[in-house]
Copies of this chain bind each other. A is one copy, B any other.
Amino acid sequence: MAEEVKLLKSWSSPFGLRIVWALKLKGIQYDSIDEDLSNKSPLLVQCNPVYKKIPVLIHNGKSISESLVIFEYIEDTWNHNPLLPQDPYHKATARFWVKFGDDKVLPSIWSAFIKQGKEQEDAIDEAIENLKLLEEQLKGKKFFGGEKIGLADLALGWLANLVPVFEEIIGMKIIDEERFPSLLAWMHEFSQVAIIKESWPPHDKLIIKFQALRDRHLAK
């Protein structure tokens, strides 16, 4: 059967981008449908009625939502170029850091980005504590997955992709050379991988997009 793979995403969302990376790593051909999130398509609402959010993967007419669930689906469906190690313990370790990224690192960095004053300071402190744990994980390793990119790299890839954008907008360094040499080396290494590099949204466009998002949050 000819496979039909569609991905509903937006051009700037890290949750959509991580799925782009996973599909590219697996070498899966897919149609990309960019959603305008201020005017969601009937298809998006129909395919993800619970959250009405991107990303949604539609595979042979069946839709799967939630990026971490989509990751596992991709891994279960196409076994080649595995995103997860074989060993159950190493698999659990990767899943632990994937979850830590979304549960802890992402909210703290997002707060550091959209808050001001004392709230921002607290968020930066929290972000730094979280990032220190990632720094430790990366010591002596090229990627979270070891020599090869794995699920934790894809799930945490937004750090490489967006933190420099956030830092430029708020005029403050969060991931600095002194505290985070391994993390910075990883960010650089990750961004240079061909399939990652080719799908990286333009920095200038991201600056405009996230500056506007920050302004909207601050105006609330």
A window 57-95: CB within 8 A of B: 59, 62, 64-66, 68-70, 72-73, 76-77, 88-89, 91-92, 95
How far apart are the CA atoms of A89 and B73 in the complex, in Å? 7
A1 within 8 A of B: no
Q: Are B95 and A72 in contact (CB under 8 A)?
A: yes
Q: Does A50 contact B (CB under 8 A)?
A: yes
- CB under 8 Å from chain B, chain A span 188-202: none
User: In the complex where A50-B133, A69-B95, A95-B69 touch, is A64 in contact with B89 (Cβ < 8 A)?
Assistant: yes
Which B-chain residue is minimally distant from A74 (CB atoms)? B88
**Interface contact B99-A66, CB-CB below 8 Å:** yes
Q: Does A100 contact B (CB under 8 A)?
A: yes
B100 touches A76 (CB 8 A): no
Copies of this chain present in the complex amount to 2
Q: How far is the CA of A88 from the CA of B74 in the complex (A)?
A: 8
Q: Which residues of B contact A95 (CB under 8 A)?
A: 66, 69, 72
Compute how far the CA of A73 lies from the CA of B96 in the bound complex, rounded to whole angstroms.
11
Interface size on A, residues (CB 8 A): 22
Contact A69 B99 (CB under 8 A): yes
User: Which B residues are in CB contact (< 8 Å) with A100?
Assistant: 50
Inter-chain contact B68/A88, CB cutoff 8 Å: no
Residues from chain B with Cβ under 8 Å of A62 in the complex: 89
* Chain B: minimal CB distance from A98 (Å): 9
Of chain B, the residue at the smallest CB distance from A75 is B88
CB < 8 Å: which of B50, B89, B96, B133 contacts A66? B96
15 pairs from A and B in contact (CB 8 Å cutoff): A50-B133, A62-B89, A64-B89, A64-B92, A64-B96, A66-B95, A66-B99, A68-B99, A69-B95, A72-B91, A72-B92, A73-B91, A73-B92, A76-B92, A77-B88
> Could you list 8 further interchain pairs (A-B, Cβ under 8 angstroms) beyond the known A62-B89, A77-B88?
A50-B100, A59-B89, A66-B96, A69-B95, A72-B92, A73-B88, A76-B88, A76-B92
